[in-house]
Structure 1
Amino acid sequence: MTFEIDPVLTDALREEVVGLWTDVVNGGGAVGFVAPVVAGDVRPTAQAALAAVDGGTDRMIAGFEGGRLVALLFVAGNGHRLKEHWRTLKRVMVAPDRQRSGYGGAIMREATAVARTMGLDALQLTVRGGTGTEGFYARLGYREVGRVPGALRVAPGDDRDEIVMWLDLRDQQAPRAKQHGG
Structure 2
Amino acid sequence: MPMSNPTPTQASTIAVFTAADLESYLPALTRLLQDCVAAGASISFLMPFSATQAEAFWRGNVLPALQSGTRSLLVALQDGQLAGSVQLDYDTPPNQPHRAEVRKLMVHPQFRRLGIAKALMRQLETLAGELNRTLLTLDTRSGSEAEPLYIGLGYQVVGRIPDYALDAPEIEAGRGLHATTIMYKQL
What is the aligned counterpart of 1:35 among 23, 47, 57? 47
Contact 1:19 1:39 in 2 (8 A): yes
Deviation per CA, 1:63-89: give whole Å up to 9, x if none. 112222111011012431111101001
What is the aligned counterpart of 2:13 among 2, 20, 29? 2
Is 1:168 the counterpart of 2:186 in the alignment?
yes
* 1:145 aligned counterpart, secondary structure: strand
Label 1:12 to 1:73 Cα distance change in 2 as closer, same or farther (>3 A).
Answer: same
Instruction: Tell me what 2:5 maps to.
Output: none
Contact 2:71 2:91 in 1 (8 A): no
Provide the TM-score with structure 2 as the length reference. 0.83
Structure 2 regions of 5+ residues with no counterpart?
1-11
Query: More displaced, 116-125 or 1-10?
Result: 1-10
Cα distance in 2 for residues equivalent to 1:35 and 1:113? 34
- 1:1-182 counterparts in 2 under 5 A? 1-7=12-18, 8-9=20-21, 11-47=23-59, 48-154=61-167, 155=171, 157-169=175-187
Q: CA deviation at 1:164?
A: 0.8
Q: CA deviation at 1:35?
A: 3.1
RMSD value over aligned CA atoms? 1.7
* 1:111 aligned counterpart, secondary structure: helix
* 1:17 aligned counterpart, secondary structure: helix
Deviation per CA, 1:5-52: give whole Å up to 9, x if none. 134335331221111111111112111112342212222222211221
Provide the TM-score with structure 1 as the length reference. 0.85
Instruction: Tell me what 1:176 maps to.
Output: none
Q: Which letter does structure 2 place at the counterpart of 1:93?
A: M
Structure 1 regions of 5+ residues with no counterpart?
170-182
**Number of equivalent positions:** 169
Cα distance in 1 for residues equivalent to 2:151 and 2:107? 18
Cα distance in 2 for residues equivalent to 1:46 and 1:129? 25
Moved over 3 A (4+): none
Label 1:63 to 1:50 Cα distance change in 2 as closer, same or farther (>3 A).
Answer: same
Query: More displaced, 75-84 or 8-17?
Result: 8-17
Q: Which letter does structure 2 place at the counterpart of 1:6?
A: F
Which structure is richer in relative contact order (CA contacts within 8 A, separation 6 or more)?
1
State, as a whole percentage, how many aligned pairs show the same letter. 23
